[in-house]
Structure 1
């Protein structure tokens, strides 16, 4: 399904209308105040990660392949911008890390060569 308008809320999550969409298979730095107590969060600049995701999808047609829901109620999805994986784009830009246990069906591993 093509999304009309999505905004990056951080380096691995989009808001598409009322739907929150989590990119499959990656983890990006958390925005300030969003790293849950006791959780090991990815190091890096959360604003740069969010901006890189925004740039990767700017002016492109997004396709969302929904794979399920996470424990926070977000849609887990393989999201593509003009056919290119946004998960792979974030990994290649150094703005997110690959997380095998979050890679439903090894979607990202196949696309990015992880």
Structure 2
């Protein structure tokens, strides 16, 4: 009696173009998901910056090339004007000068865990023992924007800074004049911050 043997065919190693496309799409989706998760973790990761600060405007500065936005406050934009004693004055520039004076109180340390849509770290900052966020509101050179309502009430009652006259809320001014940021001076600011950090200048 003869034996009939069956030889198993080796599995095919060829894959259809459709299968390759599905695998590529799946890999791209997984990679995209990982990048998105990494971006979210980086966005909310706790960050601390310390060193010499270059002031961009009344609520933002740069430390060692990293841009920082003072959290929970909103200062007049650099090009913004306000009204006082019957005339206009450059309240945006005065707000920046006020923050510059505060920065001179000591080494600046900023801490935060979130970034805005321009990539700036949203942070609470100290210069020595001076709370920069609170001081800008208390001195009347910024309005409360999620915090420091008590400091704003005191500044308003005392007529300090922009509360000494009339002004458009910074967010309203931006809506009328475009969404202004400190990006226009970003390159020079970052270079200057790098130089000051390198040589310890203020």
Please tell me the TM-score bracket, short chain as reference: 0.7 to 0.9
TM-score, normalised relative to structure 2: 0.44
Query: What is the total number of aligned residue pairs between the two structures?
Result: 98
Structure with bigger RCO (C-alpha 8 Å, 6+ apart)? 1
Shift of 1:59: 4.4
Offset from partner CA, 1:65-110 (integer Å, 9 cap, x none): 122101111000010111331011100110000011xx5xxxx569
Unaligned runs of 5+ in 2: 1-47, 81-89, 154-202
Alpha-carbon contact 2:144-2:152 (below 8 Å) kept: no
Moved over 6 A (4+): none
Once residues 6 and 58 of structure 1 are traced to their aligned partners in structure 2, the CA distance between those partners, rounded to angstroms, is 9
**Larger Rg, first or second structure (1 or 2):** 2
Matches within 5 A, 1:1-80: 1=48, 3-32=50-79, 45-80=91-126
Q: By percentage of residues, which structure has more helix?
A: 2
Unaligned runs of 5+ in 1: 34-43
SS in structure 2 at match of 1:77: strand
Partner of 2:132: 86
Q: Compared with structure 1, are the counterparts of its residues 67 and 84 closer, same or farther at alpha carbon in structure 2 (3 Å cutoff)?
A: farther
Once residues 125 and 117 of structure 2 are traced to their aligned partners in structure 1, the CA distance between those partners, rounded to angstroms, is 19
SS in structure 1 at match of 2:98: helix
TM-score, normalised relative to structure 1: 0.74
SS in structure 2 at match of 1:9: strand
Q: By percentage of residues, which structure has more strand?
A: 1
Q: Compared with structure 1, are the counterparts of its residues 72 and 93 closer, same or farther at alpha carbon in structure 2 (3 Å cutoff)?
A: same
Shift of 1:17: 2.0
Offset from partner CA, 1:15-74 (integer Å, 9 cap, x none): 1121110001000000128xxxxxxxxxx7011000000000114021111221011110
Once residues 67 and 46 of structure 1 are traced to their aligned partners in structure 2, the CA distance between those partners, rounded to angstroms, is 27
Over aligned residue pairs, what C-alpha RMSD do you find? 2.5
Q: Compared with structure 1, are the counterparts of its residues 12 and 51 closer, same or farther at alpha carbon in structure 2 (3 Å cutoff)?
A: same
